[in-house]
Structure 1
Amino acid sequence: MASRPVASTWIATRGRRLGALTASTLLVAATVAACGGGGSGGSGTADDPTTITLTHGYTDAEAAAITSLVGEWNTDHPTTKVKIEFNGGNDNALQKTVAGFTAGNYPDVAYEFGSSAAQLARQPKLIDLTATVASPAFDWDDFYPSEREATTVDGKVVGIPALVDNLSLVYNKKLFEQAGVAPPTDSWTWEDFRAAAKKLTDPASKSFGWAYVNDGSEDTVWRYLPLLWQAGGDLLTEDNKAPAFDSAAGLAALGQLRDMVVTDRSVYLDTGNQNYLNLFNSGKIAMLWTGPWDLSSITSDVDYGVSVLPGYQGNHETVSGPDIYMLFDHSGPRHQVAIDFITWLTSAKVHLKFSIATGDLPLRKSETALPEYQTFLQKYPGAKVFVDNLDNVRHVRPNIASYAEVSTAVGQMVQSVLLGQAQPQAALDSAKAQVTSALSQHS
């Protein structure tokens, strides 16, 4: 599930931000054994506490951090108890939660990918949090806009932000110096980026200026979206009823990628095995568009820097994939304990403890004003640009049940262009037809 700076979990959990499940996957999910649901009404006393269950897929530092914080809550709230259960990994979160509804042992709180919000929003047991976040004491506006948007489906708040990230430009300072290329700046344009990547490429040594994941999956789409948004485009129309990427902006974004990959040959196309990071560590790739989850896997001998993404006409927009805690109703007392616990867990002071322990970015803007934030920056110096770059997140992926089909069509569109199998306009036209069909089936 969340997993960012823990490198060992990134490959297994990249679906957190990148994956979206199809309807057939959800049908299969209903047949598998579920985890979670081990709560009890209790009488709300120290001898018989009201007990709720939190399911998650955290590993390593994040697992240790959530265990510590839950222990702190249980100590300070003797009439309630939170039990934590590992769901087998965040890639399985949606399947396990759905199976729990079938078996009747669903959790009170579940960590879910943001892309699961639309599917679970239809669950009758879901707790509507719209009124909860509207309370002045909750300070909903303290969360970054992308987080708030990711938790909202059809005007209803269906979850509380659990994790936030974004794509920024990570670069090898030594390679830039050796090539005589000035380091990236916050005013870099697409043209600056393309020119630098070309100068940083050496066919003789099989070195590349940039890497792009081109397996046609959501990972491919994830990196295309900032280009589309920067150029003034969008994935779908405002009502999510029709494709919108088949535009001048969509063509410009595809053209930028094609020019760098096909014409300049300055981009290493990763097949989805995440080998780009090994090549970055070995000095074979000079620049990555990646998130804070990869920082801990960059070896100590690589002197790297972090910058915002290159922009288009001054727009340096990036993409974020917030994850969320979703709450499900068992009874009135458990319902209230779940709300109280998750409000506490995502409060500024408590969450900053989690960030310091794990490297996950602050969820709330107010966390950056706390004295302990300096401890976070000292421990994770490369994270500062990622935190600041949250202000460059203006869109999130659409919260719709058909997102998986939309993503598949767009991912294949980009992949076909970068493999030289289709021209940008033809690829746009083909993807438009596929997305139109997918959206009509869910209308």
Structure 2
Amino acid sequence: MPRTSRRALGALAASAAAVLALSACSSSTGGESSSGGDVTLSYAIWDENQKPAMEDIAAAFEKENPNVTIDIQVTPYKEYFTKLQTAATGGSAADVFWMNGPNFQLYASNGQLAPLDDAGVDAADYPQGLIDLYTFDGKLYGAPKDFDTVALWYNKALFDAAGVEYPSAGWTWDDFIAAAAALTDPAAGQFGVAASQYGQENFYNSIAQAGGEVISADGTESGYGSPEALAGIELWTDLIEAGSSPTAQQMTDTNPEDFFLSGKVAMFQNGSWAAIAYGDNAEIADSVDVAPLPEGPEGNQSVIHGVGNVANAKSAHVAEAKAFAAFASGEEAAKIQAETGTVIPAFNGTQQAWVDALPQYELQVYIDALETAVPYPVSKNTSAWTSIESEVLSQVWSGAVAPKEGLKDLAEQMQAALDAEQE
């Protein structure tokens, strides 16, 4: 099977290495000795669709460690990091929890995470770019759990009814736009695409496809002031203006994905994590499939990212927490994730089982996307500028501010935030 390309991993590594060069304090691991008695570890995750696989992983760990019980706690992603920040500040964060690239450095630099270098995590078992992503100040704090890319899901029934050919490799932005228009039926309340204000799923990809970048490789300069970034944003705002997508207000009132799930939108870009959810959804399971992203002026690049399992440095059971974080990202756990079609596991050599788990879908497109993938944009304090990004772009998506004007404002505000990180 295709492996993560040197180009994709090199980009991830460069992005991570640049921000890791910034100075920060080391974390303290506290007591590392095993408690010896019965232990309950809380495990915080954000995806209900992945809970069954996490339960299987927990059961496998409990079988090997009969004195340990894993309590899985699911918080929707929208509230996850707000809740985590509050819990971490108050000293009540879960013993083991999911982490992502944009938030990792803040937690690692504030001493909230226990290093996993001595927990049995072998860096050679994972794509180097993900190891770099979860390394801070020379120590590994996150065990790579999975990775994800983005592709184009489509409703075959709506395509067939409109007489439009299915998306395929080599599809261009022009093909995408034309299909969206042809699949739109105002009388039926049907749209060609949901042009949502989603970064990872939509405009981070299109900006790269236009030849631009959201942030420089060293994490110090905004890329939003470029013509390429403007083209990547206008791909989506033009679709809304043309009526081929629900309006920003409609996508605020109703989750954009719900339009797709209810058959009111024909195309929806989504990450590889969506495969199991769609396969389990009786309403759409047999009527959807997935294709590569359409090609822009410079290609059809997808953003690549990955979740990491981390251990709470302040846990009362640090040794057990570190052991479970390592196990939940190990080979046995990876096989569980792959064979159930849950996510693409990060553990090398286990990804093909994920593709094979849901043969009704062309999931190979997610693996193939690694060849030209670009890193998820991060900096030392990513949330400082993504909040600005969300606020400014919401005005652009609504039509209250022209894209060119909005991106000029965004570039200036984001640069100020990035400059503040260097002080």
TM over 0.5: yes
Report whether the alignment pairs 1:305 with 2:327. Answer: no
Secondary structure in structure 1 of the residue aligned to 2:246: strand
* CA gap 1:385/1:304 in 2 versus in 1, 3 angstroms: same
Between the aligned partners of 1:62 and 1:345, the Cα distance in structure 2 is 13
Q: How far is the alpha carbon of 1:341 from its aligned partner?
A: 3.1
Query: In the alignment, what sits opposite 2:22?
Result: none
Alignment of 1:265-276 (within 5 A): 265-269=243-247, 270-276=250-256
Q: 2:300 aligns with which of 316, 328, 333?
A: 316
Q: 1:66 aligns with which of 47, 54, 75?
A: 54
Q: How far is the alpha carbon of 1:221 from its aligned partner?
A: 6.5
Secondary structure in structure 1 of the residue aligned to 2:114: coil
Alignment of 1:123-272 (within 5 A): 123-129=110-116, 131=117, 138-140=122-124, 142-143=126-127, 145=129, 147-153=130-136, 156-214=139-197, 219=198, 222-262=201-241, 264-269=242-247, 270-272=250-252
Report whether the alignment pairs 1:377 with 2:358. Answer: yes
Q: How far is the alpha carbon of 1:120 from its aligned partner?
A: 0.4
* Residues paired across the two proteins, number: 387
Structure 1 stretches lacking a partner, 5+ long? 1-38
* CA gap 1:342/1:335 in 2 versus in 1, 3 angstroms: same
Between the aligned partners of 1:76 and 1:258, the Cα distance in structure 2 is 52
Between the aligned partners of 2:189 and 2:77, the Cα distance in structure 1 is 35
Between the aligned partners of 2:145 and 2:104, the Cα distance in structure 1 is 13
Between the aligned partners of 1:186 and 1:179, the Cα distance in structure 2 is 20
Q: How far is the alpha carbon of 1:76 from its aligned partner?
A: 2.1
Instruction: Tell me if structure 2 keeps the 8 A contact 1:52–1:337.
Output: no
Q: How far is the alpha carbon of 1:433 from its aligned partner?
A: 1.8
Between the aligned partners of 1:88 and 1:67, the Cα distance in structure 2 is 15
Per-residue Cα deviation, 1:339-360 (whole angstroms, up to 9, x for no partner):
4433332223332213434622
Secondary structure in structure 1 of the residue aligned to 2:61: helix
Query: In the alignment, what sits opposite 1:279?
Result: 259
Q: How far is the alpha carbon of 1:213 from its aligned partner?
A: 1.9
Query: In the alignment, what sits opposite 1:109?
Result: 96
* CA gap 1:389/1:349 in 2 versus in 1, 3 angstroms: farther
Q: Which amino acid aligns with 2:243?
A: R
Instruction: Tell me if structure 2 keeps the 8 A contact 1:417–1:423.
Output: yes
Instruction: Tell me if structure 1 keeps the 8 A contact 2:341–2:357.
Output: no
Per-residue Cα deviation, 1:131-169 (whole angstroms, up to 9, x for no partner):
459x8x724463374x44542456653312234333210
Q: Which amino acid aligns with 1:209?
A: G
Secondary structure in structure 1 of the residue aligned to 2:109: coil
* CA gap 1:354/1:258 in 2 versus in 1, 3 angstroms: closer
Q: How far is the alpha carbon of 1:87 from its aligned partner?
A: 6.3
Between the aligned partners of 1:100 and 1:191, the Cα distance in structure 2 is 47
Instruction: Tell me if structure 1 keeps the 8 A contact 2:195–2:236.
Output: no
Q: How far is the alpha carbon of 1:368 from its aligned partner?
A: 2.9
Instruction: Tell me if structure 2 keeps the 8 A contact 1:144–1:390.
Output: no
Per-residue Cα deviation, 1:35-66 (whole angstroms, up to 9, x for no partner):
xxxx994465xxx46x4724213675633433
Secondary structure in structure 2 of the residue aligned to 1:351: helix
Q: How far is the alpha carbon of 1:101 from its aligned partner?
A: 4.9
Q: Which amino acid aligns with 2:152?
A: L
Between the aligned partners of 1:101 and 1:251, the Cα distance in structure 2 is 38
Instruction: Tell me if structure 1 keeps the 8 A contact 2:309–2:329.
Output: no
Secondary structure in structure 2 of the residue aligned to 1:121: helix
Dislocated runs of 4+, deviation >6 Å = none
**What root-mean-square deviation, in Å, do the aligned CA atoms of Structure 1 and Structure 2 show?**
3.5
Between the aligned partners of 1:278 and 1:96, the Cα distance in structure 2 is 25
Query: In the alignment, what sits opposite 2:412?
Result: 433
Report whether the alignment pairs 1:411 with 2:390. Answer: yes
Query: In the alignment, what sits opposite 2:268?
Result: 288
Q: Which amino acid aligns with 2:357?
A: F
Instruction: Tell me if structure 1 keeps the 8 A contact 2:380–2:421.
Output: no
Secondary structure in structure 2 of the residue aligned to 1:84: strand
Per-residue Cα deviation, 1:277-303 (whole angstroms, up to 9, x for no partner):
443344432111123435244614752
Per-residue Cα deviation, 1:380-427 (whole angstroms, up to 9, x for no partner):
7464433443444321120421x2232233334443333333333212
* CA gap 1:72/1:420 in 2 versus in 1, 3 angstroms: closer
Q: How far is the alpha carbon of 1:92 from its aligned partner?
A: 4.8
Q: Which amino acid aligns with 1:317?
A: Q
Query: In the alignment, what sits opposite 1:354?
Result: 337
Between the aligned partners of 2:33 and 2:139, the Cα distance in structure 1 is 27
Per-residue Cα deviation, 1:302-333 (whole angstroms, up to 9, x for no partner):
522201111124521112443221223369x9
Secondary structure in structure 1 of the residue aligned to 2:374: coil
Between the aligned partners of 1:435 and 1:298, the Cα distance in structure 2 is 43
Instruction: Tell me if structure 2 keeps the 8 A contact 1:149–1:396.
Output: no
Query: In the alignment, what sits opposite 1:22?
Result: none
Q: Which amino acid aligns with 2:59?
A: G
Per-residue Cα deviation, 1:195-224 (whole angstroms, up to 9, x for no partner):
22122223333322111224xxxx357521
Q: Percent identity?
A: 22
Between the aligned partners of 1:392 and 1:112, the Cα distance in structure 2 is 24
Between the aligned partners of 1:229 and 1:92, the Cα distance in structure 2 is 28
Query: In the alignment, what sits opposite 1:81?
Result: 68
Between the aligned partners of 1:281 and 1:354, the Cα distance in structure 2 is 24
* CA gap 1:183/1:253 in 2 versus in 1, 3 angstroms: same
Report whether the alignment pairs 1:327 with 2:327. Answer: no
Instruction: Tell me if structure 2 keeps the 8 A contact 1:200–1:209.
Output: yes
